[in-house]
Chain A
């Protein structure tokens, strides 16, 4: 696989798997408004994944975007592990979303300056959407953190549990370095400082304690995942795999 193709695929997979996860809230949201909000965020992420997968397909020259989404196995997916984590209760989902949105905002701001015109265009478009998502998830983190004693404890636990997946946002491997050198990719290390500012500010307002950086999970850049990705794929890929000629 070409470098640019693999780099784009990583970004696409991150949006795709988080979108699929969030879509599980559709018809299960705690309130109608929140059901619609989570489904809308999911839809934006699916749209971003679609644009990126179309580009991967073009770079690949053989497989269609659908084939790439539906006909790969776990080890061939490169999404950040945080995206595949279970939805849990509403607070678990909101914390995961907030941490991801904060990262997306900075990642796409940087990718918008990419020398690659298509990545830059998709990043510019995505940025507008993720900023809106971040506003929504931040507001909920504050409302739940600074809510009742019970809501505070619950979301603090959510935060503590997911924290070990935030290390992957800032990792750089060989491919990242190659892409950075070509002025196409993002310097992930560079995002950390500003991410800390955004996260710390909201957590403080929410009366939540930032967990210490302990052991951080990693491996998604090599296609290594937690047990949850396989289950997501089983559901997401069932129809096109079972009925390969199905049209929708």
Chain B
């Protein structure tokens, strides 16, 4: 009886954007690990991308708002650490969305998202958020962010 509701929750979570990269949802980011029904409430298991990522708190609030607006109130969000989040969970479709948004997706070699050049240089191992590093394209000279593989 709850399986329909669980599917509905997954669909709703799929509409909650990542607060820092709104081009993809929290489901696509891979941080929603499980939705289950236990003791009359839904348990949503969430894993942080990086231990200190400030977006984790924001997207928990966003999830609450989205579910409440859709009249779902009997749920709780639980933080899980295992297995540790990895960019391997991102689908090719999600990676393509990142590229279109101007971020080089988490693949072994960074590539300019503007002109697809692989002639690039690392500017900084740390970017504006914990999950990204900074590069510059030597062909089109545009700076760009690369989603780090972890």
Binding site for B on A (CB under 8 A): 33, 36-37, 40-41, 43-48, 50-51, 117-118, 120-122, 124-126, 128-129, 132, 135-136
Contacts and interface: CB of A to CB of B under 8 A. Distances in A.
A44 B130 contact: yes
B52 A37 contact: no
B115 interface: no
B128 interface: yes
Contact of B53 (A41, A47, A118): A47
Interface residues of B, number: 22
Given A44-B50, A47-B52, A124 B127 contact: no
Given A43-B130, A124-B81, A36 B52 contact: no
B134 interface: yes
B141 interface: no
A17 to B, nearest CB: 15
B52 A136 contact: no
Q: What are the nearest 4 A-B pairs in CB distance?
A: A47-B52, A47-B51, A121-B81, A121-B82
A43 B125 contact: no
A125 B84 contact: yes
B126 A40 contact: yes
A33 B130 CA distance: 13
A160 B150 CA distance: 34
A135 B126 CA distance: 12
B52 A46 contact: yes
**Residues of A contacting B: mostly:** helix
A4 B131 CA distance: 32
B126 A36 contact: yes
Interface in B77-134: 80-85, 123-128, 130, 134
A126 B51 CA distance: 7
Interface in B31-52: 48, 50-52
A48 B84 contact: no
A47 B52 CA distance: 4
Nearest to A124: B84
A47 B125 contact: no
B118 to A, nearest CB: 22
Contacts of B134: 33
A129 B126 contact: no
B52 A45 contact: yes
A121 B126 contact: no
B72 to A, nearest CB: 26
A51 B51 contact: yes
A124 to B, nearest CB: 5
Given A33-B123, A44-B50, A44-B130, 20 more contacts: A36-B124, A36-B127, A37-B125, A37-B126, A43-B130, A47-B51, A47-B53, A48-B51, A50-B52, A51-B81, A118-B81, A121-B80, A121-B81, A122-B81, A124-B81, A124-B84, A125-B81, A132-B125, A132-B148, A136-B125
